[in-house]
Amino acid sequence: MRPVTTSFETRPELPDGAPPPPERPRRPGWQPWMGPVAVVTALVVAMFGGLIVYAIAMPFGGSFEDPPAAANLVATLVQDAVFVGVAIAFAAGVSRPYAADFGLRPPAKPGPAIGWSALTYVAIGVVGVVASAAFGVGEDQQQENILDDLGVDPGSAMVYAWAAVVCVLAPLCEELLFRGFVFPAMRPRLGVFGAALASGAIFGAIHITNYAGEEANLAAASIVTLVFLGTAFALLYWKTGSLLPCIALHAVNNSVAFGLMQDWTWEIAVLLPLSLAACGLAVWAAMRFWRPSAPSFVG
């Protein structure tokens, strides 16, 4: 009987002094249906989690139609945690997942990754401007502060708590679910560009409820921009082989948008690097402590 060989043993020996070949990420084997089903599952679980939070908050004032600002914050924290938990749970149904499976690894070529990130950011900005012009979105609509609808008083400590959620937790949790899990799960069936567009469309669709009650032109322009953003981020992940550029750009985008909504000036220059540093610390911790004990790659 022929001995069973591993992927290590089937590779030809390298001459002395030659650098080892780069390790390729393993293929986790996620099925295409897992992407959209994971998103639906996450939304349903997050909705029930939010209802529980609001129910607990009722004795302290407010109602389901007008919940307290703190309850909105906690419900959003629950949603972000659910996004990560559902992605990991679905991945674990196939094999034990690790950080690198979701793209939490450094780009193979940092220089080109920076270039692709810059190009992606510019493209998103251009599409945002074009979409706003096409749908007739006025400057007063663009500067609307979403925190007003959440009952947050300007200048209160709650503003800074929301800054952490929007500029740190959202980039981390949304990127892990949509680009780290949904996109690679759908890619084998739809191909790179099909999966990027599909995951971008799903990403835009889940934000529709954010614009409930808003003017139709603002909602349309925002959703179009978000669909393009989600698609572009997926392609950026594909080009760089890493989720880190997507997380960084997401943090930059949210920090600038959040600061402009608060009419901040110099505060944006503080918020942006702090957001990037917090995201970087979280990613470093994941890569450092959430990894296999032996090299994991495909032959």
Q: Is 162 exposed, middle or buried (0-12, 13-18, 19+ CB in 10 A)?
A: buried
Residue type, 137: V
Helix (H, G, I), strand (E, B) or coil at 128: helix
pTM of the model: 0.87
Tallying the residues shown for the chain, one arrives at: 299
Q: Does 59 fall in a domain?
A: no
Question: What percent of the chain clears pLDDT 90, i.e. is strictly above it?
Answer: 65
Q: Does 252 fall in a domain?
A: yes
Q: Does 68 fall in a domain?
A: no
Phi, psi of 25, deg, nearest 5: -60, 145
Q: Is 169 exposed, middle or buried (0-12, 13-18, 19+ CB in 10 A)?
A: buried
Answer whether residue 6 shows pLDDT above 70. Answer: no
Q: Does 271 fall in a domain?
A: yes
Instruction: Determine how many CB atoms are found less than 10 A away from the CB of residue 117.
Output: 21
The total number of structural domains that make up the chain: 1
Q: What confidence tens digit (pLDDT) does each residue in 65-118 have?
A: 777 888 889 999 999 999 999 999 999 999 999 999 999 999 989 999 999 999
Q: Does 67 fall in a domain?
A: no
Is residue 13 very low, low, confident or very high in pLDDT (cuts 50, 70, 90)? Answer: low
Q: Does 46 fall in a domain?
A: no
Q: Does 268 fall in a domain?
A: yes
Q: Does 240 fall in a domain?
A: yes
Is residue 10 very low, low, confident or very high in pLDDT (cuts 50, 70, 90)? Answer: very low
Domain of residue 149 covers 101-207+214-289
